[in-house]
Chains A and B, each alone.
Chain A
Amino acid sequence: MFGNTRKARAAAFAALAVTVALVATGCAATGDNSGSGDEGSGDANYAITFLPKNLGNAYFDTSDAGGADAIKEFGGTYAEVGPAESGPDAQVSFINTLTQQGVGGIVVSANDPQAICDALNEARDAGTKVVTFDSDTNPECRDLFINQATAEGIAKVEVDLIAEQIGGAGKIAILSSTPNATNQNAWIEIMKTYLASDYPDIELVDTVYGTDDDQASFDKTAALLQTYPDLKGIISPTTVGITAAARYLSTSEFKGKIALTGLGTPNQMRDYVQDGTVTAFALWNPADLGYLAAYAAKALIDGDITGAKGDTFDGGKLGSFTVGENGSVLLGDPFTFNKDNIGDFDF
């Protein structure tokens, strides 16, 4: 009797394990097709994976789609992985998996300049090329950085926009993404310097972090308006933040009275520009950014460039680009969207 139940127990477990293993096989059989990039055939390994700050973010959807277009053009294999929530170490296990899989290139937007460095260097030791875009890591961990615009340019355009909208004087606050994000922190530093030098009558009262989570950004906006009743403007240098803030403002009594600007995508902001919550905001073309990053990865994989200053490579339909200081490549300048031109774009 005891023997029967012990055996039954062992059998139950074996059955469970077999079922799970079969499921794994099934998934592996389908998954294997998308992950291949055979070195044996003599081609370069064009399996490039995009690793954004987090998934479910409209900005990265557009940029990664641009990358997918580029990869289709030069015949590589595209994949996109990422954590559901932004965090400094959330990307590490994905990078580890990519190293194990032996992909040709990783294109990553980093949540922190330092935290993923070791994992990226392990990947590079295994032969993978690493390109950062949108948000950089420390230069020694990657081969190239594709910068959407100069940090000075981005900071300046946002401060100019808010100053124009609040009449050059008053209290403003910043709604950023995660506290460690390389790009936002760089822009915020320059914003502070620029405010001090050019707009002494504008006071920056607080910087809050919505961690690129929609609900958190929504609630943080509400808290800002509660805590600082005489706030005149909010700058949100992240597309998730500005969308959530606009949504809150458009149903609050402060609509139209508090200026909101920052970096947003036209599709997400169109309703709020049209109903008057937001007057103008800035961005660049994220699809071009992802496109260029993919071509940069291809150039590295081919061995055309090593990421040294002065290297030039082909950026597909965007033309030829030269590597600048510290291994960074500049895409262009930020672009201002407002009521007049927002209908012309679809991303």
Chain B
Amino acid sequence: MTALSPSPTVGSRIAHGFGAFVKARETGILLALVLVIVAATVKNPNFLFSSDGFRDLLLTPSILLLVAVGQAIVIITRNVDLSVGSVLGLTAYLTGRLFIDVPGIPVIAVFAIGIVAGGLLGLINGALVAFAKVPALVITLGTLYAYRGINVLWTGSDRINSSDMPASFLALGTQSILFIPILTIIAVVVLVVAAWYLRNQRGGRELYAIGSDPDAANLYGLKVTQRLLAAFILCGALAGLAGVLYAARYGTVNSQAGAGYELNAVGAAVIGGVAIFGGSGSVWGAAIGAYLLLTINRALPILGVQDFWQRAVVGALIIGAIVLDRVLALRQARRLVEARDS
């Protein structure tokens, strides 16, 4: 006779949820972020408590957050997109050119065109990966070069100045609503939608399946090609949106905008717990990873470390994160084997 376990009570549900929260990878990163902010604020209270400081703390990583979320989606499918920096640069310049060449264009149209342009560039990546079955690493390495080259060719020795863009657009980059910068609000909204999609929608959960075992996903009948295309288009579109926001934030766009962003995006995702081998992780982790990376960059000079060591810190964090993930995975596997054998 089977004994049914009693249905979980509200109390045990809360306890279970709380336990999961504490043990989650993302919580560890969140704690690290809080620690860094506390340390920097102790040294210099202006870091958090001045209006500029608080604004910059929330504002600067917002752009990276968008790119990291897109990158996380692609990494979850066991691919990588190294061309996001170049896509960002191209759409940032496109934004400026739209304002110059089409006077009076509504800001919302510029946003739409930027996102669509980014999506198209991502589509090229996705098509090559999904149809030609070439590793995404190589494809996006090539498109990183190619898109940046197109950007520089188009820009020439020109640059977009803040005087070329309408004040209402630039205000998006610096204004706040209720002390929270508008850019951050946009980024968080995108983050919440992406997280909901990945967790609760079929399309999102299938991405995890494809990343965990592409062959099994194929045999199971999932539309792998479609999902891969969607993932790359999404990544490109988010990079495009980030490019539009970059133009609003910095006001000046030259041909080198966004150079090096791909490394920070991959780093943010990896630090945030997205396994480079695909199949696990969440966009929350990537978002917190983005904040952690850029906040460390800003906190280093205050803590007395020359900001030249920033990249070394990023590299050490990435390696630390993947080693930690590996150790945890090995321990988990051993525990499962013991449970099975006992």
Contact = CB atoms under 8 A, between A and B. Distances in A.
Q: Do chains A and B touch in the complex (CB under 8 A)?
A: yes
B157 interface: yes
Interface of B: 44, 46-47, 50-53, 56, 60, 152, 155-159, 161-163, 174, 250-252, 254-257, 298, 301-302, 307
Contacts of A247: 162, 251-252
Contacts of B174: 251
A227 interface: yes
List 9 A-B pairs, minimum CB-CB distance, nearest first. A55-B157, A251-B174, A56-B254, A214-B252, A229-B46, A56-B159, A252-B52, A56-B157, A227-B301
Interface of A: 55-56, 58, 61, 80, 82, 84-85, 213-215, 218-219, 222-223, 225-227, 229, 243-244, 247, 251-254, 268, 271
A84 B44 contact: no
A253 B157 contact: no
A85 B254 CA distance: 11
Given A213-B256, A222-B56, A271 B251 contact: no
A84 B152 contact: yes
B302 to A, nearest CB: 6
B114 to A, nearest CB: 18
A253 B50 contact: yes
Nearest to A268: B161
Contacts of A215: 250, 252, 257
Contacts of A244: 252
Given A226-B56, A226-B302, 20 more contacts: A55-B157, A56-B157, A56-B159, A56-B256, A80-B157, A213-B256, A214-B250, A215-B250, A215-B252, A215-B257, A219-B60, A223-B298, A223-B301, A226-B44, A226-B46, A226-B47, A227-B301, A229-B44, A229-B46, A254-B52
Nearest to B255: A84
Nearest to A52: B157
Contacts of B250: 214-215, 218
A253 B157 CA distance: 33
B222 to A, nearest CB: 32
Nearest to B254: A56
A84 B151 CA distance: 12
A56 B44 CA distance: 36
Contacts of B158: 56
B298 A226 contact: yes
A58 B157 CA distance: 9
Given A213-B256, A215-B257, A223-B301, A56 B161 contact: no
A218 B249 CA distance: 11
B150 to A, nearest CB: 13
A215 to B, nearest CB: 6
Contacts of A252: 52
Contacts of B52: 222, 225-226, 252-254
**Which residue of A56, A218, A244, A268 has the most chain B CB atoms within 10 A of its CB atom?**
A56
A56 B158 CA distance: 5
Contacts of B53: 226
Contact of A84 (B60, B163, B256, B301): B256
A226 B307 CA distance: 13
Contacts of B47: 226
Contacts of B46: 226, 229
18 contacts: A55-B156, A55-B157, A56-B157, A56-B159, A56-B255, A56-B256, A213-B256, A215-B250, A215-B252, A215-B257, A222-B52, A222-B56, A226-B301, A244-B252, A251-B174, A253-B50, A253-B51, A268-B161
A227 B256 CA distance: 27
B175 to A, nearest CB: 9
A251 B174 CA distance: 7
Contacts of A229: 44, 46, 50
Nearest to A229: B46
Contacts of B255: 56, 84
B166 to A, nearest CB: 14
Nearest to B158: A56
Contacts of A82: 157
Nearest to B47: A226
Contacts of A218: 250, 252
Nearest to A64: B157
B118 to A, nearest CB: 19
Contacts of A56: 155, 157-159, 254-256
Nearest to B170: A251
A294 B73 CA distance: 54
A174 to B, nearest CB: 15
Contacts of B257: 215
A244 B252 CA distance: 9
A215 B301 CA distance: 18
A247 B152 CA distance: 24
A222 B250 CA distance: 12
A203 to B, nearest CB: 18
A218 B44 CA distance: 21
**Which residue of B161, B163, B257 has the most chain A CB atoms within 10 A of its CB atom?**
B161
A218 B252 CA distance: 10
A247 B173 CA distance: 12
A248 to B, nearest CB: 9
Contacts of B44: 226-227, 229
B188 to A, nearest CB: 21
